[in-house]
Amino acid sequence: MAAGVTGAPEEDGPRLWTGWGRTAPTAARAVRPSSDADVVAAVAAPARAVLARGLGRCYGDAAQSAGGRIVSTSGLSGLVLDEDSGTAVVGAGCSLDRLLRELVPRGWFVPVVPGTRYVTVGGAIAADVHGKNHHVDGSFGQHVRRLDLVDGTAEVRRLSPVDDPDAFWATVGGLGLTGVVTRAELQLRRIGSSWMRVTTARAGGLGELLTALEDHDRRYRYTVAWIDLAAGGRALGRGVLTSGDHADGDEVRAAHGGDPLAYRPGARLTVPPVPVSAVNRLGVRMFNELWFRKAPVYREAELQPMQTFFHPLDGVRDWNRVYGPRGFLQYQFVVPDGREDVLEDVIGGLQRTGAEAFLAVLKRFGDAGPAPLSFPRRGWTLAMDLPVRAPDRLARALDALDAQVADAGGAVYLVKDARCRPDLVERMYPQLPAWRAVRDRLDPQRRFRSDLSRRLDL
């Protein structure tokens, strides 16, 4: 440990930080506060920049700050459940994994969960994360009743959609740039079991997949489609939909016996460090072909444990290592209804550059929430992992796709971004000037900076 900053918790020595994609590492020291007072001291003490960091599951550079002070939130982990109001007051460093382990056996669920449980409540607020139920329930911030924020003047503020709503909504989706969230009160959902009633359906091409997604959105709370980005010709955009709802306690008891709320996400396999990417073009094609064929043409009312339905990747620890030391990018964008042509262009464009897009997911979003920097808005969102093999070629291809997305009135997801051009971000997020005005009030000296905020000039 290095010498502590006066009045602030002791700082670790400098180390390299990256996002989950493991590209573009930069060095910074970290502090690990365990109270609001520690956070206040960490924000107030001199530093080039300050930035909160949760579990680093953003893919790009949103949770790193070269030469700055990282405020790691792992020590801010309290949890108080109020079953009468169906709410929980949770420390910002508490992971959704821990939260679900505490809540599910008591019959409560977090209303919005992203594709991994290994994110913190603070990270979920700062990215305003979405889940498979955006078309019904909106994004994470819409279920936060209030939050505590240490702003850039080191003042502790209690914010809600009623008390200083501008500051509240600028912090939701605000990428850690309005301050450090220390705790939040979440509205929870009642559930009768830890199981999901799932429908699986195959679609042979993009048109069929889009129609099926629209149909499933009307029938199910949760929907998502895996899409085979390697398939061409008439099979372009083929995929497998999985949709579902929470199963009732009685139906789970009848099918499996035992406690319907028992929740035990299994032990995790670990991927060791690999010297080169294990993901190549042939492998991706073969995997996709098998995955598509393995799926039933149509199957209804299958009971699945919720961890299988929501978080299949969480069964493998450090799976990001399969991409080797060069890492990978996650590219996620949204385009409005009526611009389905962009989806087709993106799939075709990536195939022409030879990019092996892996683990691609397509989903429909419902209406946008009130947060000015929030990503979800009505339309189609496509997310994919892209190994970094020929960086210049990939960058050129994605620059062209970004421009097409912006022209269509869409946006890329900033918390996953590692490379977008700043001039496009202003078009993708038209409320950016309004957000900046609130950010300047909360952080007049721009204490909070990340590599992403510098790169995109936020």
Ligand X SMILES: Cc1cc2nc3c(=O)[nH]c(=O)nc-3n(C[C@H](O)[C@H](O)[C@H](O)COP(=O)(O)OP(=O)(O)OC[C@H]3O[C@@H](n4cnc5c(N)ncnc54)[C@H](O)[C@@H]3O)c2cc1C
Site size for ligand X (CB under 6 A)? 33
418 binds ligand X (CB under 6 A): no
Q: Six-digit token pair at 349?
A: 């464009």
87 binds ligand X (CB under 6 A): no
127 binds ligand X (CB under 6 A): yes
Q: Six-digit token pair at 263?
A: 């929740």
List all residues 6 or more positions away from 9 whose beta carbon is below 8 Å from its beta carbon: 31, 32, 33, 34, 38, 41, 42
Q: Judged by CB under 6 A, which of 130, 246, 377, 455 binds ligand X?
A: 130
User: What minimum distance in Å lies between the beta carbon of 379 and ligand X?
Assistant: 15
Which residue, 88 or 92, has its beta carbon nearer to ligand X? Answer: 92
- Integer Cα distance of 344 and 342 in angstroms: 5
Scanning 124-132, 211-219, 274-282, 428-436 for contacts with ligand X by CB under 6 A, the matching segment is 124-132
57 binds ligand X (CB under 6 A): yes
Q: Judged by CB under 6 A, which of 115, 173, 237, 324 binds ligand X?
A: 115
Q: Please, what is the Cα angle at 272 between 127 and 295, to 5 degrees?
A: 65
Helices (H), ranges, 81-232:
96-103, 121-127, 134-137, 165-171, 206-219
Which residue, 123 or 369, has its beta carbon nearer to ligand X? Answer: 123
377 binds ligand X (CB under 6 A): no
Residue (of 128, 122, 60, 123) closest to 376 by Cα position: 128
Residue 38: phi and psi, rounded to 5, are -60, -40
Do 328 and 360 touch, CB atoms closer than 8 A?
no
90 binds ligand X (CB under 6 A): no
Q: For residues 280-319, which are near ligand X according to CB under 6 A?
A: 313
List all residues 6 or more positions away from 56 whose beta carbon is below 8 Å from its beta carbon: 17, 18, 19, 20, 63
Residue 117: phi and psi, rounded to 5, are -85, -10
Which residue, 120 or 242, has its beta carbon nearer to ligand X? Answer: 120
User: What minimum distance in Å lies between the beta carbon of 91 and ligand X?
Assistant: 9
Residue 338: is it exposed, middle or buried by C-beta count within 10 angstroms (0-12/13-18/19+)?
exposed
Q: Judged by CB under 6 A, which of 104, 119, 362, 438 binds ligand X?
A: 119
Which residue, 54 or 107, has its beta carbon nearer to ligand X? Answer: 54
- Integer Cα distance of 116 and 118 in angstroms: 5
271 binds ligand X (CB under 6 A): no
Q: For residues 216-255, which are near ligand X according to CB under 6 A?
A: none
Scanning 103-111, 118-126, 269-277, 339-347 for contacts with ligand X by CB under 6 A, the matching segment is 118-126
122 binds ligand X (CB under 6 A): yes
Q: For residues 136-175, which are near ligand X according to CB under 6 A?
A: 175
- Integer Cα distance of 122 and 120 in angstroms: 5
User: What minimum distance in Å lies between the beta carbon of 380 and ligand X?
Assistant: 15
List all residues 6 or more positions away from 440 whose beta carbon is below 8 Å from its beta carbon: none
- Integer Cα distance of 223 and 207 in angstroms: 17
20 binds ligand X (CB under 6 A): yes
265 binds ligand X (CB under 6 A): no
Q: For residues 174-213, which are near ligand X according to CB under 6 A?
A: 175-176, 180-181
Binding site for ligand X (CB under 6 A): 20, 51-58, 62-63, 73, 92, 114-116, 119-120, 122-124, 126-127, 129-131, 175-176, 180-181, 313, 415, 450
